[in-house]
Amino acid sequence: MEEEMNNMDGNQMYSNEQTISLNRDVFSIDFKQIVFQYASGHKAVKVINHKGIIMQPYLFKHLIGVMQDTVKDYEKKFGEIKVDKKASKSNVPVDIIQSESTAYIG
């Protein structure tokens, strides 16, 4: 019988920015939570929390398929998800930094 062990830190995080980088062997997704904290009488401090995932290309492609299926199911149940063109980075040219071993999209 197969044993199962879960090793979750239990800390979920809201992500309001994501960065994807890649090289020949892996895709990396950096989920960021960017918030501003204010202390009385002080300027705002930008706080960035990160959680990253590193995946082999075939697993990344599988994840994309699962995510597309999940969005379709969501839209069937709750209606179309509207994308705010002004808030979307898709209207802004994407910077791609690529070397022999790494590319950066974000």
For the stretch 40-74, pLDDT in tens is: 777 888 888 889 999 999 999 999 999 999 999 99
Structure-model confidence comparison of residues 61 and 92, the more confident one? 61
Q: Which residue has the tokens 């509207």?
A: 82
Region of residue 41 (left: phi > 0; alpha: psi -120 to 50; beta: else): left
Give 99's pLDDT tier (boundaries 50, 70, 90).
very low
| Closest C-alpha to 54, from 89, 106, 19 | 19
For residues 69 and 75, is the Cβ–Cβ distance under 8 A? no
pTM, two decimal places? 0.64
pLDDT of residue 52: 93
Is the pLDDT at 7 greater than 70? The verdict is no
CA distances from 22 to 4, 7, 25, 42 (A): 30, 26, 8, 39
Structure-model confidence comparison of residues 81 and 37, the more confident one? 81
Phi, psi for residue 70 in degrees, rounded to 5:
-65, -40
Kindly report the average pLDDT of the chain as a whole number. Answer: 80
pLDDT of residue 91: 41
For residues 4 and 85, is the Cβ–Cβ distance under 8 A? no
